[in-house]
Amino acid sequence: MAKNDKRKAASSPAQAADFPGREAAARGNGEARKAPAARNPVKTGGVQSDGRRRMTIDDIRPGATIAAARNAAGNPYLPEPATVVEIVPETHNIKSFRVRFDDEAVMENFSFAPGQVGQLGIFGVGESTFAINSSPSTKEYLQFSVMRTGEVTTALHNLSVGDKVGVRAPMGCGFPVDEWKGKKILYVMGGIGSAALRATIHYTLEHRDDYEDVTIIYGARSPEDLTYKYDIDDWVERKDVNAVITIDREVPGWDKRVGFVPAVLEEEQPRPKDTIAITCGPPIMIKFVLQSLEKLQFTDDQIYTTLEKRMKCGIGICGRCNMGPRYVCVDGPVFSMTELRELPDEM
């Protein structure tokens, strides 16, 4: 999700260190070697007018991922260099970026749990937190979907295929998909919130026999605001998925549901027995979805959401994502409602 645009100061070339809450993912050799030159030199930093130096791609060591540098001291903010291999326009203000790590060993060994996130950034500009929304089984690329909202996301939207980016991933915890086996799965999402749940949807559909009914309720303001239309076509065609696609207001030519997501959820009347509900979307939507789930007699331990929009540094250092005693970036971003009830109400 395109959130938390922030500026990034200069860093010295060093390997990244491991931190709690991270799964071992990529195992590059961590040896220092010169990175490929960036194709987008205007975005690679250098000395600014105020004398501060911005990070450039020459500061990066390929292979110095969190897991590869587990036992090495160094700079935990140092990203892994990657290349944009494909850009998919999703809506008028959302693009999906498919990137590959420049170190093939890192790419080959990278893994993540559905629901985990990463920091995607441009050297000399900054980075932001986004859900990794490619399928966990995909080894060709990582996909991040970016809504244009601020400085970093605008710079990302200006990228072209072949440009260089920095990636710090995976971060946080994923959804407990193994614990959900044998359950019915209900996805309730709106707008760009689909990005945070897309990898989990892919996982459950790729392991379809492990779950009972799968229902996907997805809504947006208009047909043009629906993301992943190629996924929607697949969901609608599948006989083993109940896909309910809705828009806020009726428009000519629209032959699917019309109505706000919480209202459509109540109309569908999903039964709470043995069902897990996962929701993500605009905060106002989530608020009313939670109320609707309560009306439908879902309990807190059956409801999950993700709060990656609150993440800043991603590794539990800056403290800006804390909710009471918990750090979203280390203890989350995935939380059950049971866990959230124990924290200050800051949603």
Residue 331 lies in a domain: no
State whether 21 and 138 are in the same domain: yes
Amino acid at 117: V
Per residue in 139-185, pLDDT (tens digit) is 999 999 999 999 999 999 999 999 999 999 999 999 999 999 999 99
State whether 101 and 198 are in the same domain: no
> For the domain that residue 155 is a member of, what is the CATH number?
2.40.30.10
Report d(CA 111, CA 100) in Å as an integer: 13
State whether 245 and 277 are in the same domain: yes
Residue 179 lies in a domain: no
* Pairing of β 257-258 and β 275-280: unpaired
Please spell the DSSP secondary structure of 136-196, one letter per residue: TT--S-EEEEEE--SHHHHHHHT--TT-EEEEEEEESB---TTTTTTSEEEEEEETTHHHH
State whether 278 and 131 are in the same domain: no
Report d(CA 323, CA 346) in Å as an integer: 7
pLDDT of residue 243: 98
Task: Select from 171, 203, 237 the last residue of a domain.
Answer: 171
Give the whole-number percent of the chain exceeding pLDDT 90: 68
Residue 229 in tokens = 């239309």
State whether 120 and 215 are in the same domain: no
Residue 167 in tokens = 């990636």
CA angle 40, 41, 45 (to 5 degrees): 120
Q: What is the mean pLDDT of residues 92-104?
A: 96
Residue 102 lies in a domain: yes
Contact 114, 199 (CB under 8 A): yes
| C-alpha torsion angle, residues 35, 39, 42, 44 (rounded to 10) | -20
Task: Select from 306, 323, 338 the last residue of a domain.
Answer: 306
> For the domain that residue 198 is a member of, what is the CATH number?
3.40.50.80
Beta bridge partners of 146: 95
State whether 154 and 7 are in the same domain: yes
Can you tell me whether residue 84 is helix, strand or coil? strand
Query: Model's pTM, two decimal places?
Result: 0.80
Residue 227 lies in a domain: yes
State whether 74 and 219 are in the same domain: no
Q: Which domain, by its residues, includes 85?
A: 3-171
Nearest to 19 by CA among 88, 98, 84, 72: 72
- 189-to-82, 99, 117, 282, 285 alpha-carbon distances in Å: 30, 25, 17, 9, 8
3-state helix, strand, coil in the chain (%, to 5): 25, 25, 50
pLDDT of residue 62: 54
Residue 333 lies in a domain: no
pLDDT of residue 277: 98
Task: Select from 143, 171, 199 the last residue of a domain.
Answer: 171
Domain count, the chain: 2
Reply yes or no on whether the pLDDT at 231 is more than 90: yes
Structure confidence at residue 225 as a pLDDT band (50, 70, 90): very high
Can you tell me whether residue 41 is helix, strand or coil? helix
Per residue in 36-60, pLDDT (tens digit) is 333 333 333 344 444 545 555 565 5
Q: What is the mean pLDDT of residues 306-326?
A: 87
Reply yes or no on whether the pLDDT at 329 is more than 80: yes
State whether 127 and 198 are in the same domain: no
Structure confidence at residue 312 as a pLDDT band (50, 70, 90): confident
State whether 93 and 160 are in the same domain: yes
| C-alpha torsion angle, residues 171, 172, 173, 175 (rounded to 10) | -80
Residues shown for the chain: 347
State whether 293 and 145 are in the same domain: no
Structure confidence at residue 28 as a pLDDT band (50, 70, 90): very low
Residue 339 lies in a domain: no
Reply yes or no on whether the pLDDT at 24 is more than 90: no
Residue 297 in tokens = 């007699």
The mean predicted confidence, pLDDT, of the chain is 83
State whether 37 and 158 are in the same domain: yes
Residue 314 lies in a domain: no
pLDDT of residue 20: 33
Residue 341 lies in a domain: no
State whether 21 and 144 are in the same domain: yes
